């Protein structure tokens, strides 16, 4: 019976599939007409429809999406110089005019800033796109002391040119995809042929092509659709606003994604440790760069453990505090009526509120918030007996340490995890802390970025990568691309040591 059902199901499925494919084959492109286009864009006040009665030519375009100089130069001026309708087809034979036979293609063309030209029964598109956008400026979220200061803008074209300016190679390939059924946002996948591993390129294209959503507005939004583990707190794609950082990822064999309308580019595959590197590290002497990087890993430890250790020790393990310090701590805590867990959570939430307020307000008011928060609340909280002095030091060090992480998304994830560790430490002391850290490690060990291990080069163990991950060796000694990118061309430095 089951066998019979299966056969019937197969037959019916085949019939349905073949009928659907036959129907698909029958669908012919709709011939574009002016009436259709005008009805399609009905109630769009920004749509311009111009008619040249002398030559019987109609122009249709969106006023704010075209470069008016270019429009005049490429379309209007030549049309003015045509004196008879018969001369128009000859003019439209020029290479900048593209003949369009499909109405859908024409609609998409107009939407992306092209001008539609209707002449006789034929329709053409000409690219005069000229969107107004802000000029290239410094990055607000990723500042560096040395090195280039330009940052990506919201226009993908400019961003692509900033990368092309840095990688002048015909091997730098760009694939264009479209995401968002309503927004039709352009997404560009960049890779360097013969350096990037095509498995990653194909995987990224597959994941982006599978997105079925009405709108995508930003890179950080896009990458949440293509994450390996969407429920994880950790970012699985590195984002950056810095063209030179993104160019260096491409040269390292990674792939890059640019979303039109977003000033950040994504790079993959990435590892947990990559979020602790900054462009600045490479622009300093290698020893100073290495020291900065090690300092960031120390900051990671401080962010995660300082406040939770305070809570653990003052709740359960007073014996861990040396005698001299114990007197100070006891005095400081004697006025505080709450358990250390609540005391710490109160201060940590206050710090997070200050951070959030500082980020949302204009920079001048933000500074005031910093002073109010840092001096007034901190000092007043101690005097009012709400917290101890030592907790203020622990919370402040932990907050400062969290801002040392160059990638904001990673820094935010770590700060969030800190709350979990504080609660565990408050409930189960050092045991809770060990359980919390174990849980983080177990979670990290299961994470992947584009299918590649998130803990590279620790696990899988790749010691040759360490000289460009935990420290920065002199450039002469960094001879190979990161193993995570699985590049077919691993050697990047042929200099003699």
Q: What are phi and psi of 463, to 5 degrees?
A: -60, -25
CA 79 to chain centre: 44
Helical spans, DSSP H, in 167-218: 198-209
Per CB under 8 A, does 461 bind another protein? yes
The rounded distance, in Å, linking the Cα atoms of 92 and 112 is 20
Among positions 53, 230, 322, 337, the unique one binding another protein when judged by CB under 8 A: 322
Give 449's strand partners: 452
Question: Interacting stretch for another protein, rule CB under 8 A, among 198-206, 282-290, 456-464, 477-485?
Answer: 456-464
Per CB under 8 A, does 455 bind another protein? yes
Among positions 66, 429, 481, 485, the unique one binding another protein when judged by CB under 8 A: 429
Between 159 and 315, name the residue whose CB sits nearer to another protein: 315
Per CB under 8 A, does 320 bind another protein? yes
Q: How many CB atoms lie within 10 A of CB 146?
A: 10
Between 62 and 310, name the residue whose CB sits nearer to another protein: 310
Between 359 and 441, name the residue whose CB sits nearer to another protein: 441
Q: What's the closest the beta carbon of residue 297 comes to another protein, in angstroms?
A: 12
Per CB under 8 A, does 460 bind another protein? yes
Question: Token pair for residue 493?
Answer: 């430095």
Question: Interacting stretch for another protein, rule CB under 8 A, among 226-234, 438-446, 471-479, 482-490?
Answer: 438-446
Between 18 and 445, name the residue whose CB sits nearer to another protein: 445
Among positions 27, 212, 319, 494, the unique one binding another protein when judged by CB under 8 A: 319
Q: How many CB atoms lie within 10 A of CB 115?
A: 26
The rounded distance, in Å, linking the Cα atoms of 161 and 152 is 10
Per CB under 8 A, does 439 bind another protein? yes
Largest CA distance in the chain: 101
Per CB under 8 A, does 316 bind another protein? yes
Query: Which residues, in sequence order, are CB contacts of 116 under 8 Å at separation 6+?
Result: 32, 37, 59, 60, 61, 100, 106, 109, 110, 123, 124, 125
The contact mask relative to another protein for 49-78 (x = CB under 8 A, - = no) is ------------------------------
Among positions 433, 450, 469, 478, the unique one binding another protein when judged by CB under 8 A: 433
The rounded distance, in Å, linking the Cα atoms of 359 and 80 is 53
Per CB under 8 A, does 441 bind another protein? yes
Ramachandran bin of 212, using left for φ above 0, alpha for ψ from -120 to 50, beta for the remaining angles? beta
Between 12 and 431, name the residue whose CB sits nearer to another protein: 431
Per CB under 8 A, does 444 bind another protein? yes
The site that binds another protein (CB under 8 A) totals a number of residues, namely 30
Per CB under 8 A, does 438 bind another protein? yes
The rounded distance, in Å, linking the Cα atoms of 378 and 392 is 7
Between 324 and 383, name the residue whose CB sits nearer to another protein: 324
Q: How many residues does the chain have?
A: 497
The upper half-sphere exposure of residue 386, i.e. CA atoms within 13 Å in the direction of its Cβ, equals 13
The rounded distance, in Å, linking the Cα atoms of 436 and 424 is 7
Per CB under 8 A, does 325 bind another protein? yes
Per CB under 8 A, does 445 bind another protein? yes
Using only C-alpha atoms, the chain has a radius of gyration, in whole angstroms, of 30
Q: What's the closest the beta carbon of residue 332 comes to another protein, in angstroms?
A: 15
Question: Interacting stretch for another protein, rule CB under 8 A, among 72-80, 140-148, 280-288, 316-324?
Answer: 316-324
Among positions 430, 479, 489, 490, the unique one binding another protein when judged by CB under 8 A: 430
Among positions 167, 434, 471, 473, the unique one binding another protein when judged by CB under 8 A: 434
Per CB under 8 A, does 453 bind another protein? yes
Q: What are phi and psi of 160, to 5 degrees?
A: -65, -40
Can the peptide bond before residue 140 be classed as cis, meaning omega within 30 degrees of 0? Answer: no
Between 139 and 484, name the residue whose CB sits nearer to another protein: 484
Query: Which residues, in sequence order, are CB contacts of 167 under 8 Å at separation 6+?
Result: 192, 247, 250, 251
Which stretches of the chain bind another protein, using CB under 8 A? 316-317, 319-322, 325, 428-435, 437-439, 441-446, 453, 455, 458-461
């Amino acid at each position: 019976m089951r066998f019979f059902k299966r056969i019937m199901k197969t037959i019916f499925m085949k019939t349905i599939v073949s009928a659907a494919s036959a129907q698909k084959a029958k669908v012919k492109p709709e011939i574009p007409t002016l009436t259709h286009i005008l009805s399609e864009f009905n109630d769009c006040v920004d749509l311009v429809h111009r008619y040249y009665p002398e030559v019987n030519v109609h122009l249709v375009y969106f006023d704010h999406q075209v470069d008016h100089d270019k429009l005049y130069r490429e379309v209007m001026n030549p049309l003015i110089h045509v004196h008879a309708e018969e001369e128009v087809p000859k003019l439209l034979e020029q290479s900048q005019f593209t003949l369009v036979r499909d109405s859908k293609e024409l609609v998409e063309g107009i939407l992306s800033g092209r001008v539609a030209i209707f002449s006789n029964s034929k329709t053409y598109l000409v690219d005069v796109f000229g969107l107004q956008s802000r000029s290239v400026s410094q990055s607000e979220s990723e500042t560096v002391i040395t090195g280039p200061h330009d940052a990506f803008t919201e226009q993908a074209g400019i961003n692509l040119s900033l990368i092309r300016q840095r990688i002048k190679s015909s091997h730098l390939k760009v694939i264009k995809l479209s995401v968002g059924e309503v927004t039709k946002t352009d997404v560009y996948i960049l890779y360097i042929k013969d350096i990037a591993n095509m498995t990653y390129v194909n995987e990224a294209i597959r994941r982006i092509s599978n997105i079925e959503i009405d709108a995508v507005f930003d890179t950080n939004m896009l990458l949440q659709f293509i994450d390996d583990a969407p429920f994880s707190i950790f970012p699985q794609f590195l984002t950056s606003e810095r063209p030179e950082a993104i160019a260096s990822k491409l040269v390292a064999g990674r792939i890059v994604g640019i979303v039109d309308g977003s000033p950040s580019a994504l790079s993959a595959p990435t590892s947990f440790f990559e979020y602790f590197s900054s462009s600045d590290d490479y622009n300093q002497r290698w020893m100073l760069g290495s020291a900065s990087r090690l300092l960031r890993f120390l900051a990671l430890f401080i962010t995660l453990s300082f406040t939770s250790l305070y809570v653990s020790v003052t709740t359960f393990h007073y014996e861990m505090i040396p005698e001299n310090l114990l007197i100070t701590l006891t005095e400081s805590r004697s006025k505080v009526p709450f358990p250390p867990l609540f005391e710490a959570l109160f201060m940590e939430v206050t710090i997070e509120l200050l951070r959030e307020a500082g980020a949302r307000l204009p920079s001048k008011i933000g500074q005031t918030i910093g002073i109010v928060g840092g001096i007034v609340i901190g000092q007043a909280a101690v005097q009012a007996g709400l917290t101890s002095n030592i907790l203020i030091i622990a919370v402040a060090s932990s907050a400062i340490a969290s801002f040392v992480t160059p990638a904001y998304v990673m820094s935010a994830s770590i700060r969030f995890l800190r709350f979990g560790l504080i609660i565990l430490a408050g409930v189960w002391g050092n045991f809770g802390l060990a359980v919390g850290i174990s849980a983080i490690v177990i979670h990290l060990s299961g994470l992947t970025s584009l299918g590649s291990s998130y803990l590279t080069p620790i696990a899988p163990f790749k010691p040759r990568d360490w000289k460009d991950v935990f420290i920065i060796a002199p450039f002469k000694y960094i001879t190979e691309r990161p193993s995570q990118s699985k590049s077919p061309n691993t050697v990047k430095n042929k200099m003699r040591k």
